């Protein structure tokens, strides 16, 4: 079994128009920039993107939106000081937004990966973001019914991986990586290094390889990566 | 009559955070509380993007953009701190493991309803982030805000007019004029700045407040 790919372009080659794509990252930390650059390079569009934000600055998701490839963003916090590409597309009516509270976003992604049909969450109860949704009182507390978020692909960034797809992450770049890896049909991880089997301590593997289908090494300087 | 400054408000909140507490400080004004946590208490700061045991900002030149807080600013990790993914991070919150969360607000009702995510302005891009999870998740939710808007309207209200973040979730409000306890029994004044009294506070807020105790 060898999940390692020779290039980012090879890893994303079968992503087609209209695909749903989870992108790891919180702001720029954990954003799989090189996988996204490869996606931009292959002229695929009409994408539904799931991420915490809606792009920062000029790289990653922001570049994908700028290139006009995204039909809809499902996220918790689109409006930021450097989200100008999203803002412009949104005000021009060129992009759809589904706003989800951050914890519900995580829980719905996790539910998809865990094979759950739905979840009852207290977050959002009694607010605009729960309008029209089914609710239930359980043990005296009120909950909103929310459905899992599945995706065709997850593009995530981890620190090190092996050819079986086991992953460890770096600091707060971990964020959505582990749960998106579980939720997508095909998970593609960019890592700074692919190491031999057995070199990742099994006690500290964060994402077991069963959740990962492809691994690409994109060497980069550690530390101030943004 | 002199109002408490933002720094004094932060120091006042910090005084009420006990040894051993797990605390989340919201973006904006609440982040100032970190500067006033007593050195003799071990208080662990949670940042919802995935760390516990958050330390101060790094010295210039030592920023690591993969070690950031919820406001996307570079931070450090204390010895004994930990990283985790988003589902775990929000389980800490929603699951009631975080002791205290301190948030900013547009409005809070006397029953503890919170409005802090959206002004409802037409054309504005809505953004919620972790606000709704934070508001209802922690064991106690504190709000830190100026009591009056620039136009002199009270932000402590009978019922919020801005879109809600959470229902009956706030227990305490720290402002520049007074500290309040809020909940099912309405708002009570815990403390006021020197020179202010209940009747003057009632005039400012248009509420019928009483002193605690």
Query: What separation in angstroms does the CA of A221 have from each of A191, A193, A226, B193?
Result: 12, 11, 10, 53
**What dotted CATH number matches A4-8+18-217?**
3.40.1080.10
Residues of B in contact with A104 (CB under 8 A): 132-133
Assign A225 a pLDDT band (cuts: 50, 70, 90): very low
| % residues pLDDT > 90 (chain A) | 96
Radius of gyration of chain A, Cα coordinates, nearest whole angstrom:
18
Residues A152 and A159: their CA atoms lie apart, in Å, by 23
Topology (CATH level 3) of domain B6-211: Glutaconate Coenzyme A-transferase (3.40.1080)
For the cut 60, the answer to whether the pLDDT of residue A223 exceeds it is: no
Average pLDDT, chain A: 96
**Domain residue ranges in chain A:** 4-8+18-217
Residues A169 and B85: their CA atoms lie apart, in Å, by 10
Assign A221 a pLDDT band (cuts: 50, 70, 90): low
Asked if B133 lies within 8 A of A27 by C-beta distance, the reply is no
Instruction: Give start and end residues of each alpha helix (H) in chain B.
Output: 6-15, 86-94, 131-137, 198-205
Residues B115 and B118: their CA atoms lie apart, in Å, by 7
Assign B206 a pLDDT band (cuts: 50, 70, 90): very high
**SS (HEC) of B36-85:** HCCCCCCCEEEECCCEEEEECCCCCCCCCCCCECCCCCECEEEEEEEECC
Q: Is B170 on the interface with A (CB under 8 A)?
A: no
A78-126 confidence digits (pLDDT tens): 999 999 999 999 999 999 999 999 999 999 999 999 999 999 999 999 9
B62-116 confidence digits (pLDDT tens): 999 999 999 999 999 999 999 999 999 999 999 999 999 999 999 999 999 999 9
Asked if A223 lies within 8 A of B64 by C-beta distance, the reply is yes
Cβ neighbours of residue A37 closer than 8 Å, sequence gap 6 or more: A8, A63
Query: What separation in angstroms does the CA of B144 have from each of A92, A138, B27, B101, B176?
Result: 36, 31, 11, 10, 9
How does DSSP classify residue A29? B
Residues of B in contact with A124 (CB under 8 A): 132
Assign B121 a pLDDT band (cuts: 50, 70, 90): confident
Query: What separation in angstroms does the CA of B131 have from each of A172, A204, B74, B141?
Result: 19, 31, 21, 11
A120-171 confidence digits (pLDDT tens): 999 999 999 999 999 999 999 999 999 999 999 999 999 999 999 999 999 9
Q: Are strands A96-99 and A70-75 parallel, antiparallel or unpaired?
A: parallel
Residues B91 and A21: their CA atoms lie apart, in Å, by 24
Residues of B in contact with A100 (CB under 8 A): 128
Active site residue B19: no
How does DSSP classify residue A171? G
Cβ neighbours of residue A39 closer than 8 Å, sequence gap 6 or more: A12, A15, A21, A64, A69, A155
Asked if B167 lies within 8 A of A125 by C-beta distance, the reply is yes
Asked if A29 lies within 8 A of B163 by C-beta distance, the reply is no
**Domain residue ranges in chain B:** 6-211
Least Cα separation, residue B61 to chain A (angstroms): 9
The stretch A196-225 carries a mean pLDDT of 88
- The predicted pLDDT at position B178 comes to 98
Q: How many CB atoms lie within 10 A of CB B213?
A: 6
Report yes or no for ipTM above 0.90.
Answer: yes
Residues A153 and A42: their CA atoms lie apart, in Å, by 16
Which of B7, B42, B48, B66 is catalytic? The answer is B48
B10-65 confidence digits (pLDDT tens): 999 999 999 999 999 999 899 999 999 999 999 999 999 999 999 999 999 999 99
Average pLDDT, chain B: 96
Q: Is B99 on the interface with A (CB under 8 A)?
A: no
Q: Two tokens at A226?
A: 């943004």
Assign A54 a pLDDT band (cuts: 50, 70, 90): very high
């Amino acid at each position: 079994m060898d999940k390692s790919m020779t290039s980012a372009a090879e890893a994303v080659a079968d992503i087609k128009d209209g695909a749903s794509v989870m992108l790891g990252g919180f702001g720029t930390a954990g954003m799989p920039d090189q996988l996204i650059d490869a996606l931009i390079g292959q002229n695929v569009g009409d994408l539904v993107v799931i991420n915490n934000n809606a792009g920062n600055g000029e790289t990653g998701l922001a570049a994908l939106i700028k290139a006009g490839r995204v039909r809809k963003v499902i996220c918790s916090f689109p409006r930021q000081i450097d989200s100008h590409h999203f803002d412009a597309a949104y005000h021009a009516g060129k992009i759809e937004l589904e706003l989800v509270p951050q914890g519900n976003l995580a829980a719905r992604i996790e539910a998809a990966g865990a094979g759950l049909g739905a979840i009852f969450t207290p977050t959002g109860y009694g607010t605009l973001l729960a309008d029209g949704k089914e609710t239930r009182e359980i043990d005296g507390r009120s909950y909103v019914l929310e459905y899992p978020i599945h995706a065709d692909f997850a593009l995530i960034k981890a620190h090190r991986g092996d050819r079986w797809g086991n992953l460890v992450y770096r600091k707060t770049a971990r964020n959505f990586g582990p749960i998106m890896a579980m939720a997508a049909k095909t998970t593609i991880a960019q890592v700074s290094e692919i190491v031999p089997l057995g070199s990742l301590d099994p006690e500290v593997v964060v994402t077991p390889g069963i959740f990962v289908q492809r691994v690409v090494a994109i060497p980069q300087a550690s530390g101030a990566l943004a | 009559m002199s109002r408490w400054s933002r720094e004094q408000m932060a120091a006042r909140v910090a005084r009420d955070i006990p040894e051993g507490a797990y605390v989340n400080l919201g973006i904006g004004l609440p982040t100032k509380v970190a500067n006033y946590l007593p050195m003799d208490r071990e208080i662990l700061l949670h940042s919802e993007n995935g760390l516990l045991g958050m330390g101060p900002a790094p010295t210039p030149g030592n920023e690591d953009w993969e070690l950031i807080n919820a406001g996307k600013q570079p931070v450090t990790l204390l010895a004994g701190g930990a990283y985790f993914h988003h589902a775990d991070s929000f389980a800490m919150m929603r699951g009631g493991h975080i002791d205290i969360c301190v948030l900013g607000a547009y409005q809070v009702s006397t029953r503890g309803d919170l409005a802090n995510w959206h002004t409802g302005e037409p054309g504005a891009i809505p953004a919620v982030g972790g606000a709704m999870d934070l508001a209802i998740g922690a064991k106690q939710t504190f709000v830190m805000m100026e009591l009056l808007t620039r136009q002199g309207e009270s932000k402590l209200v009978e019922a919020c007019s801005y879109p809600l973040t959470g229902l009956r979730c706030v227990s305490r409000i720290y402002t520049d004029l007074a500290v309040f306890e809020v909940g099912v029994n309405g708002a009570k004044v815990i403390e006021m700045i020197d020179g202010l009294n209940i009747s003057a506070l009632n005039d400012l807020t248009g509420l019928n407040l009483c002193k605690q105790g």
